[in-house]
Amino acid sequence: MDFDDLVRGWERVGLSGGMTVIVHSSLSSFGPVTGGADTVVSSLLAAVGSGGTVAMPAFTPQIANPAPGTVGLPDTSTLGRRNAVPLFHSELPSAMGAIAEAFRKLPGSVRSAHPQVSVSAHGRHADHIVTPHPLGFAVGRNSPFGRLHDLGAHILLVGVGHNRNTFLHHAETLSAPRRLKIRRFPLMVDGERAWVEVPDVADDNGRLFPGIGEEFERTCGTQITVIGQAAFRLIPVQPFVNFATGRFDQLLGHAGKVLA
């Protein structure tokens, strides 16, 4: 599979010039691709054209408290492990796969500044999408995901399922009975390294996300397109979020629980 094959494939999926799309992807799902992740990225940008925008998660789960159960002053060993956790910076590698990492490093890509769940973007609306990025409820209404929603973006799942669809986290932030957790990460504050704690929605761990995503696809008749060896789904953000928020309201009809 080469660049031209991919461009034709994106057209079959439904990508067109001027679209805004956030991509969750797996390079290995394609099978062999000439030029690898770089070819996938360049073909996506070609598909949306100069008036379009592509975004991808650039998450950094390596920035996390290595001893979340520690209460009070840490011992020497725990303090050493915490000090080894890197501070976020714009060139810090992401753990979101080869395509997302190639996209992050692409000249012209910009990145939001959240220490754990940053977003990369390239194209017409890129700067608007990535700034600002609140520390708490980092996938919520005032985040890059909220702005992608307001832009009428689409979600492109490339060889991955709804367990990788961050807009389900976004939808849960809008639900009254949302499940909660505390994010912990180091920041430089007035020249000193400090550990910060902020609230956010909890990890789903495959409990609800796959089922809600599949329900939406059945209800709305989402088409599955195969390119190479991978299955692709193109999903409009706004109706998806409306549907998912309603389902969270139904399925989580109890007070959210704070999880460490």
pLDDT digits (tens, 9 = 90+) for 43-52: 999 999 999 9
pTM: 0.93
d(CA 152, CA 20): 7
Q: Are 185 and 195 in contact (CB under 8 A)?
A: yes
Q: In the prediction, which pLDDT does 78 show?
A: 86
Q: In the prediction, which pLDDT does 16 show?
A: 97
d(CA 145, CA 122): 15
Q: In the prediction, which pLDDT does 253 show?
A: 82
Tokens 């490339």 sit at which residue?
Answer: 158
Q: Is the pLDDT of residue 255 over 60?
A: no
Tell the burial category of 92 from Cβ atoms under 10 Å away from its Cβ (0-12, 13-18, 19+): middle
- Out of 15-19, 37-41, 65-69, least confident range: 65-69
d(CA 221, CA 190): 52
| pLDDT tens readout for residues 171-210 | 999 998 999 999 999 999 999 999 999 999 999 999 999 9
Task: Using DSSP, state whether 198 is helix, strand or coil.
Answer: strand
How much is the average pLDDT of 224-234? 91
Q: Bridge-partner residues for 133, per DSSP?
A: none
Q: In the prediction, which pLDDT does 198 show?
A: 96
Q: Is the pLDDT of residue 260 over 60?
A: no
**What sign results for the dihedral spanned by CA atoms 64, 67, 70, 74?**
negative
Instruction: Describe the strand order of the beta sheet including 53-57 as a list of residue ranges.
Output: 110-111, 119-123, 53-57, 20-25, 154-158, 230-236, 224-227
d(CA 88, CA 150): 27
Tokens 């990788």 sit at which residue?
Answer: 164
- Out of 70-84, 143-157, 197-211, 221-235, least confident range: 70-84
Q: Is the pLDDT of residue 259 over 50?
A: no
The answer for 190, left when phi > 0, alpha when psi is -120 to 50, beta otherwise, is left
How much is the average pLDDT of 122-126? 98
**What sign results for the dihedral spanned by CA atoms 63, 66, 67, 72?**
negative
Q: In the prediction, which pLDDT does 75 show?
A: 84
Q: In the prediction, which pLDDT does 254 show?
A: 52
Mean pLDDT of the chain: 94
List the structure tokens of 223.
Answer: 């088409």
10 Å Cβ neighbour count for 78?
A: 15
Q: In the prediction, which pLDDT does 69 show?
A: 74
Indicate the pLDDT class of residue 258, thresholds 50, 70 and 90: very low
Query: Which range of residues forms the domain containing residue 116?
Result: 3-259
| pLDDT tens readout for residues 58-77 | 999 999 998 887 777 888 88
Percent with pLDDT over 70 in the chain: 97
List the structure tokens of 101.
Answer: 């990492």
State how many domains the chain has: 1
How much is the average pLDDT of 221-228? 90
Q: Is the pLDDT of residue 222 over 60?
A: yes
Amino acid at position 1, single letter? M
d(CA 211, CA 253): 17
Q: Is the pLDDT of residue 97 over 70?
A: yes
d(CA 213, CA 215): 5
Q: Are 164 and 157 in contact (CB under 8 A)?
A: yes
